[in-house]
Amino acid sequence: MYPYSFSYFYVLIPAMILAVYAQSKVGSTFNKYSRVSNSRGFTGAEVARQLLSAAGIHDVTVERVGGNLTDHYDPRTKTLRLSDSVYGSTSIAAIGVAAHETGHAIQHDEGYVFLKLRSAMVPMTNIGSNLAMPLIVIGVLIGGMAGSSFGYTIIQFGIVLFSLAVAFSLITLPVEFDASKRAIETLGMYNFLSDDELKPAKKVLSAAALTYVASAAVAISNLLRLVLMFGRRDD
């Protein structure tokens, strides 16, 4: 049999609180500065294209994607997708987000090691995320009914697969931090934003970065919970 108690869920509480705060923070910060236009009148799409050109990158397409804060760079197709609230907006928040996503395109062009590692992990991480919990449940059922070591082995394999998602979330952190750093530096370097406008842009990107920290914290806490619950058998 395996020990099970809802007390193990207390491990998640600090990380969940951080996640809720991070989502609230990024939403409120983006909304605040999405109402403040940059003094030079650039749109998010214009900034992205000009930053790409300045970096000598001419094979990345900038296009609009539906939704709010759905902005992302797809290295497979070399496509930089900006959401409706960023693509045609002149707000400081939009400029910051557009520059951040452009930072990912520049990372890809330069062969940034953490981006390459994260991209290489995507297939295995997807497999691990989809199979981890079903395997753990199956292992618990087998172990609970028969008390067999086979059930325990399945559980441990599920935990290993889950750890891939944790590793992915940790590797994501330097990728995101570096993209934000590049964004602030280039926005100032090419005078897209004034010094006074760079501060709120940095606040937007810092709030966004906090969501990745919170995601990693939740993933680590879940892994710790699984290890505490199933790290040993109670024969």
Choose the catalytic residue: 46, 101, 176, 197.
101
User: What phi and psi, each to the nearest 5 degrees, are found at residue 64?
Assistant: -85, 145
* Structure tokens given for 40: 């030079």
Q: 235 Cβ partners below 8 Å, 6+ apart?
A: 1, 147
- The one-letter code for the residue type at 73 is Y
- Of 130, 157, 125, 128, which Cα lies nearest the Cα of 143? 157
- The one-letter code for the residue type at 126 is N
Confirm whether 63 is a catalytic residue.
Answer: no
Query: How many of the other CB atoms lie within 10 Å of CB of 40?
Result: 14
22 contacts 218 by C-beta, under 8 angstroms: no
Sheet harboring 61-65: ordered strands across?
A: 61-65, 79-83, 72-74
Long-range Cβ contact pairs of 171-175 (< 8 A, separation 24 or more): 171/114, 171/117, 171/118, 171/121, 172/118, 172/212, 172/215, 172/216, 173/212, 173/213, 173/216, 174/114, 175/104, 175/107, 175/112, 175/114, 175/115, 175/118
Q: 149 Cβ partners below 8 Å, 6+ apart?
A: none
State the catalytic residues: 101
